[in-house]
Amino acid sequence: MTARPDLTADTWPIAVCMHGFAPIGRDGIALHDAPAERWDALFAEVASLGFTELELADSHIRPADLEPSRRAELLSIAGGHGVSIISVHVQRQSVLQPGREDRNLDYAHRTVDAAAEMGMSVFSTGLHHPFSEAQKRALWFWTAPGWKDPDDADTRAFAVDRLRELGKHAQDAGLPMALEMYEDTYLGTADSAVQLIQEIGLDNVGLNPDIGNLVRLHRPIEDWREMHAKTLPYANYWHVKNYARDEAGDGSWFSSTPTSMELGLINYRQVVRDAVELGFRGPFLMEQYGGDSLGVCATNRDYLRTLLPRS
């Protein structure tokens, strides 16, 4: 990643996620297809919370599938509120999804092109798949079983080839590519995620060490300190969120619930300091499930700025 030693607590890019906005409006129109007025209201709310950066989630708006005129309109509306769209996150469209491998790869390539055209700073993706029916029914999707990448060397090698192809495209477009850690994929443990980055072998491809995705699982997990120690040297973009976690000493039960960055299991005061000392200079993305997602993201942003260097 390109070093940016000038970043301080006041200037570090901290984006908000789109979880707080409905992907489908009350009128049944998807946010992706919504008129300019609805987009304007979205960015007005983002700006009212003090955010100047936003991550575009393709669950809400797919830049690859927007006409060029609508991409320009989206940028104009965001800019009118002083908000920059700094990244796009392609989620649940894995290059390993059965029956959609080639389609998803093509879509990811088109998203890289759209991100570059729109002046974004990061292309983010991962290997997680669409929700299973059980996950769709669950209060919290991470408490139900979903896709698992096969323990198969050929499939893993196929994933590496596909992700390397995407990474080279992003590199040619002048973008870093971040791969999000997520359970039961080849990015589902610290060792496997680091190995995957090493196998891809491109300087612009790094990790999004979203270890909150793993802390929330209702099962045994790796120690959060060890996971961060292994993955932070490879981080180039970072989704941050936290969960309160409890578990029985005999391993008979586990529970978790979303909370603020300051109150959850992960000690962000420690891991943010460690990341900066290791050279992390990528943007942060505030993420929150449940409740007032946007409000908690704003609270977390203010807390995060107290952890970043003042000069």
DSSP-assigned beta bridge partners for residue 240: 286
Is 3 among the domain residues? no
Is 9 among the domain residues? no
SS3 241: coil
Is 21 among the domain residues? yes
Q: What is the pLDDT along the chain (311 residues), one digit of tens a residue?
A: 344 558 999 999 999 999 999 999 999 999 999 999 999 999 999 999 999 999 999 999 999 999 999 999 999 999 999 999 999 999 999 999 999 999 999 999 999 999 999 999 999 999 999 999 999 999 999 999 999 999 999 999 999 999 999 999 999 999 999 999 999 999 999 999 999 999 999 999 999 999 999 999 999 999 999 999 999 999 999 999 999 999 999 999 999 999 999 999 999 999 999 999 999 999 999 999 999 999 999 999 999 999 999 98
Is 4 among the domain residues? no
Q: With a threshold of 0.75, does the pTM exceed it? A: yes
Is 5 among the domain residues? no
Which residues span the domain enclosing 255? 14-307
| Sign for the pseudo-dihedral over CA of 101, 102, 103, 105 | positive
**CATH, residue 241:** 3.20.20.150
Tokens of 225: 């300190």
Is 24 among the domain residues? yes
Q: How many domains does the chain have?
A: 1
Cβ neighbors of 305 (< 8 A, separation 6 or more) are: 9, 10, 12, 14
